[in-house]
Chains A and B, each alone.
Chain A
Amino acid sequence: MMNSMNNIMKQVDDVLNVLNKEVISNRQFAIDINKGDVHQALTYLKSIGFTQLSIITCVDLIADNKFQLIYILNNWELGLFVIVRTDIDRDNPSYVTVVNIFPGAKYYEREVHEFFGVTFEGNDSSFKPLLLEIWDDIPPLRKDFDPQVYSDRKFEKRDSDKIYRSKIGGVKL
């Protein structure tokens, strides 16, 4: 298995402009790609057997002021996963959709938009809400969003301390 992965990695390295590559396990590797080369990379990977898009997601690298977009592709024939990573600007996050390569990306991109605020040009539906309804704060999966604060503001909690002070032991039934 390691052999076929090394071959694939070599091929990928030859064809694509890979900034950095990382072996994660004997069935999985990651490549960093320039923002502009992702479409070419995905098209190429699809042509060599990575026919299934497993997930598109995003990581908020708040310390570097960047979002990292993650595309994970699955090669069913060889049993390999590839993680394609690219960095985009965090202040004005936008990117170009990949639905023309992987139609399945439609909802993943919509979710990334909802959770991180990344807009995807060319995927009109990505601007619509998906899981959340009437959302009134910054996108919730950004690192600077604190769910506890939001929850305390919106949803009242029971003051259990008072109850505890008055009782010890169990409940009589």
Chain B
Amino acid sequence: MNERKSFFAPVKAWKYLLKKPVTIKKEDVFDNPREASDQYRGFHQNDWDKCIGCGTCASICPTNAISMVEIASLKIEDGKKNERPALDYGRCSFCALCVDICVSDSLKMTKEYVHLSKDIDSFYFIPDINGIHNTQEKQGYVRDETSELLDLERVKMAHEDVSRKNSFIEIVKGYSMEMALAESARCVECGICTATCPAHMNIPEYIRSIYENDLKGAVTHLYKTNPLSNVCGRICTHLCEGACSLAVRGEAISIRWLKRYIVDNTPIEDYEEAVLSFVTEPVNGKVGIVGSGPSGLSAAYYLRTLGYEVDVYEKRAIPGGVISYGGPEYRLPEASVQKDIGMIKKTGVNFITNTKVGTDITLEQLKEKYDAVFLGIGFSLSRPLNIPGSDHKNVEYAIPLLAETRDYLRGSSKMPDVHEKVVVIGGGNVAFDVARTLLRLQIEKYGKVNVAMASLENRDILPADLEELEEGEEEGIIGSFGYGPEEIVVENNKIVGLKVNKVISIFDEDKRFNPKYDKTDSYVIEATQVYISTGQMPEYDMITDDMKEKMEIVRGKIITGEYGQVENLPWLFAGGDIVRGPDIINGVANGHDSAYGIDLYLQSKNK
């Protein structure tokens, strides 16, 4: 090691004189800087068509370099915000975490790396597909499976196995604490769901509360916008999950089941405290509510929390409307319904049951008795189906059956009369509710299943949820989807079946309902009883004719102002199905809005 060489040893270096130089050529440095590697993390580019403006890149950015900027020229759609990320190259550290976590796969990095300027403002830009210099630079770093930072798979929900059909046991088992924590950890808190939810529930906030294991806080978040969380945690149409930003590349967060986890697992004392914490000092004002369905309950709760005295009128024996008499027990157990209604009762809402407005008490009388009246009567009638044979006595409708079954399960009524062979017309969720209810009743009565279904819509466009279809078929429903009913075949005054034809198209060129059939593909589904579940409609008999003249009713729906106020009848507010069509969460939202509207109205009246 210690040897020493000659002083002139470095002269050896001359041998490199004729070798290829290590120096990079001038043109590769100045004119056209060397192309960076394929993974290079250069300046950003963002595909605006794909980008949904969720802001997840801004949340992960460790340097706070990304801010979301509203772009006025972009439309707000369901599941998309009109914001796009803006980058500050006075902050960016080129770590590419934003690329790795991008939910829509729109944010990428280019190979471009030279940007010099005296103008400091040029280091701030809102990247689009063209990159920083508008020159369509080559793509550098992109996300792949390995660098993925999202969890795209749902925590699987446990379901009862197919033996569930022997009783009305609840099918979905619910999340355990570990599962809920894991599921809540997937949320990226973009808030797109909040915008989509009709009730604008604070979804990211309550998911964060679950993640932090603060269930009381979660309940508080729920009751800010939804007093029917037990119900919505089970049978909500979960539009939020359709909009969830994670659904762009993976599976949406199970927002509904997380809500259910909150209401099922919060200790009852904490729950009550959180619910009652909203109730304020009583104020001067009385409000009457017609109908105790979702919208009525929601309006009642929020009016009560504002301090008003609230009376709710219900024609049936138990309040709740569709939640007590509509949803089947295996989806919506009685205990959950009663928990929600019980909580609302605890806030001091007064329920007047077995009182039908229009016959027992008129709307005029309510007008005199109360400062304002909220109409939340819902779609309580089944829409009739006029085909040959539909006037037969064994043709039944969905709503009476579902109500009778709930009463039967409560023990307050006898079992509905179910035949051995039945067919259900309709392809919506309610139709499946009917079919699966019938199936359970059949097993109880006959020990075997024979339920058929027929709907205009084929499997691909079936309005019902996919899980309804899958579970229903698993339980033994025989579906003729895409086959429209032509007539109910009656022989010797007895129903023998339903004749169906293959549907070619449902709507005509003007997008009007006008189904076309292929008469060659036609058969008869054998049954002795037919259930029709092709939609519902309201019952407006309590509204007097001179009131009807003053209000506008379009296709069975009442037109109201922003907060549910009927324009020419300022004391009357309406909400729920009769305003927005049948959906529980819409009803909850309307109830909340109307409570706000009633509060505004009464405050201005008292001035």
**Interface residue ranges, A against B (CB under 8 Å):** 158, 160-161, 163-165, 167-173
Cα-based distance from A170 to B124 in the complex (angstroms): 9
> Chain B nearest CB: distance from A75 CB in Å?
31
Pairs of residues from A and B, 6 with the lowest C-beta to C-beta distance, nearest first = A170-B132, A164-B86, A163-B124, A170-B134, A171-B122, A164-B69
B132's closest neighbor in chain A, by CB?
A170
Would you give the 0/1 interface string for B54-82, flagging 1 where the beta carbon is closer than 8 Å to chain A? Answer: 00000000000001010100000000000
The A-contacting residues of B in range 130-189, CB under 8 angstroms, are 130-134
Answer whether residue B90 sits at the interface, using C-beta atoms and an 8 A cutoff.
yes
Question: Would you give the 0/1 interface string for B88-128, flagging 1 where the beta carbon is closer than 8 Å to chain A?
Answer: 10100000000000000000000000010100111011111
A164 lies within 8 A of B132 (CB):
no
Per the bound structure, the CA–CA distance linking A172 and B88 in Å amounts to 17
> Chain B contacts of A158 at CB under 8 A?
90, 120
Q: Is the CB of A160 within 8 A of B71?
A: no
Q: Of A161, A164, A172, A173, which contacts B126 at CB under 8 A?
A: A164
**A170 partner residues in chain B, CB cutoff 8 A:** 125, 127-128, 130-134
> Which residues of chain A have C-beta atoms less than 8 A from B128's C-beta?
168-170
Interface residues of B (CB under 8 A from A): 67, 69, 71, 86, 88, 90, 115, 117, 120-122, 124-128, 130-134
- Asked if A169 and B67 make an inter-chain contact with CB atoms under 8 angstroms apart, the answer reads no
A168 to B74 Cα, complex, angstroms: 12
B125 touches A169 (CB 8 A): yes
Given contacts A158-B90, A160-B67, A161-B67, contact A168 B133 (CB under 8 A): no
Instruction: Pull 20 A–B residue pairs with CB atoms less than 8 Å apart, ordered by A.
Output: A158-B90, A160-B86, A161-B67, A163-B124, A164-B69, A164-B86, A164-B126, A167-B124, A167-B125, A168-B128, A169-B125, A169-B126, A169-B128, A169-B134, A170-B127, A170-B128, A170-B133, A170-B134, A171-B134, A172-B134
Report the separation of the CA atoms of residues A161 and B86 in the bound assembly, to the nearest whole angstrom.
9
In the bound complex, CA of A173 to CA of B117 (Å): 9
Q: Which residues of B contact A173 (CB under 8 A)?
A: 133
Q: Name the A residues within 8 Å of B132 (CB-CB).
A: 170-171
A34 to chain B, nearest CB (A): 34
Give chain A residues whose Cβ lies under 8 Å from the Cβ of B122: 171
Chain B's nearest CB lies how many Å from the CB of A32? 28
Q: A169-B125, A171-B132 are in contact. List 10 more A-B contacts (CB 8 A).
A: A160-B90, A164-B86, A167-B126, A168-B71, A169-B130, A170-B128, A170-B132, A170-B133, A171-B125, A173-B133
CB distance from B46 to the nearest CB of A (A): 10
A168 CA / B126 CA spacing, docked (Å): 5
Please give, as numbers and ranges, the residues of chain B lying within 8 Å of A167 by CB-CB distance: 124-126
Hey, which chain A residues are within 8 Å of B88, CB to CB? 160
Closest residue of chain A to B43 (Cβ to Cβ) is: A170
Cβ–Cβ contact B124 & A164, under 8 A: yes
Enumerate chain B residues within 8 angstroms of A161, measured Cβ to Cβ: 67
The answer for the CA separation of A163 and B128 in the assembled complex, in Å, is 16
Q: Give chain A nearest CB distance to B455 CB in angstroms.
A: 47
A165 surroundings in chain B (CB, below 8 A)? 69
Which residue of the partner chain B has the closest CB to A148?
B64
Given A160-B124, A164-B67, A165-B69: A171 in contact with B133 (beta carbons within 8 A)? yes
Q: Which residues of A contact B69 (CB under 8 A)?
A: 164-165
Q: How far is the CB of A14 from chain B (nearest CB, A)?
A: 41
B91 nearest CB neighbor, chain A only: A160
Give the complex CA separation of A14 and B80 in angstroms: 65
| A161–B68 alpha-carbon span in the complex (Å) | 10
When C-beta atoms are compared, the residue in chain A nearest to B117 turns out to be A171
Kindly report which residue of chain B lies nearest to residue A173, judged by CB atoms: B133
Question: Considering only CB atoms, which chain B residue lies closest to A168 in the complex?
Answer: B126
The smallest beta-carbon distance between A38 and chain B, in angstroms, is 36
- Determine the chain B residues whose CB is within 8 A of the CB of A163 once the complex forms: 121, 124
- What residues on B are CB-neighbors of A171 within 8 Å? 115, 117, 122, 125, 132-134
Instruction: For residue B64, give the distance in angstroms from its CB to the closest CB of chain A.
Output: 10
Q: How far is the CB of B61 from chain A (nearest CB, A)?
A: 13
CA distance A160 to B131 in the complex (A): 19
The residues of B that contact A172 with a CB separation of less than 8 Å are 133-134
Distance A160 CA – B92 CA, assembled complex (angstroms): 13
Q: Which of A160, A170, A171 gathers the greatest number of chain B CB atoms within 10 Å?
A: A170
Chain A: CB-nearest residue to B44: A170
Q: Report chain B residues within 8 Å CB of A164.
A: 67, 69, 86, 124, 126
With both chains docked as a complex, state the minimum distance between the C-beta of B106 and any C-beta of chain A, in angstroms: 15
| B90 contact set on A, CB distance < 8 A | 158, 160
Query: Which A residues are in CB contact (< 8 Å) with B121?
Result: 163
